[in-house]
């Protein structure tokens, strides 16, 4: 059996709503094709897989299981911060996206890979953990929590990568927010992921210098393809 093929796009800095709409424009046709294929067993059109990389201007997003009170600032202060806010259709609580954070949106038909959403999340985490390792940083998991963490067995465990996904008929959207050169002060306006007793960090903070963003993107792109065992189109 040949490995899955994934179409990759780097959207660079893009408005959150514009990227969300674009994700949806890729996600919905995959769902429609799967429904058609199920009703028509002789259909030969295969579903597609996509991977989007991007950065967003300052934005706070609240997932379906989140609480609005985890946004700690008013609309007026949001405007002063030049930030926007959206309640969106992924899982999880509240998070921040902004310049210097690498956002990855896999829009995968998991029927091409494996139909296990927990395994999918672990594979996303593993791709980030392997990328961190290339910078001499040990990433890890905390049982019961999603994402990638630093120094989990110390008094100061720090989250470096958040995950939030949506899936329907085993098709995924949304994904990874990986703090690379992120301005972490923007996290002061929220209770990140609704977790009150843990802090956030960035790769730049951990290694003490600004990260070559393009180089990091290249590393994560390779690690995702290796962990999930796919080829790029």
Which residues are identified as catalytic? Answer: 193
Taking residue 210's Cβ as centre, other Cβ atoms within 10 Å add up to: 12
Structure letter (DSSP) for residue 208: T
| C-alpha–C-alpha distance, residues 48 and 26, integer Å | 9
CA distances from 92 to 70, 124, 130, 163 (A): 12, 15, 23, 8
**SS3 label, residue 163:** strand
> Could you give the CA distance from residue 137 to residue 126 in angstroms, rounded to a whole number?
13
């Amino acid at each position: 059996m040949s490995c899955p093929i994934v179409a990759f796009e780097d959207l660079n800095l893009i408005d959150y709503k514009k990227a969300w709409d674009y994700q949806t424009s890729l996600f919905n046709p995959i769902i429609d094709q799967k429904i058609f294929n199920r009703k028509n067993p002789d259909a030969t059109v295969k579903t597609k897989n996509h991977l989007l990389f991007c950065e967003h201007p300052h934005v706070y997003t609240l997932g379906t299981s989140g609480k609005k009170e985890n946004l700690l600032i008013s609309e007026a202060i949001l405007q002063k911060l030049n930030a926007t806010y959206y309640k969106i259709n992924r899982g999880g609580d509240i998070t921040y996206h902004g310049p210097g954070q690498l956002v990855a949106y896999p829009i995968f038909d998991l029927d091409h890979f494996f139909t296990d959403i927990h395994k999918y999340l672990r594979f996303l985490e593993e791709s980030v953990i392997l990328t961190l390792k290339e910078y001499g940083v040990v990433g890890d998991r905390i049982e019961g929590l999603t994402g990638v963490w630093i120094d989990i067995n110390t008094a100061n465990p720090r989250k470096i990568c958040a995950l939030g996904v949506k899936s329907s008929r085993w098709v995924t959207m949304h994904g990874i927010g990986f703090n690379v050169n992120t301005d972490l002060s923007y996290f002061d306006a929220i209770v990140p992921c609704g977790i009150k007793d843990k802090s956030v960090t960035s790769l730049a903070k951990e290694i003490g210098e600004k990260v070559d963003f393009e180089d990091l993107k290249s590393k994560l792109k390779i690690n995702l393809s290796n962990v999930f065992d796919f080829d790029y189109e």
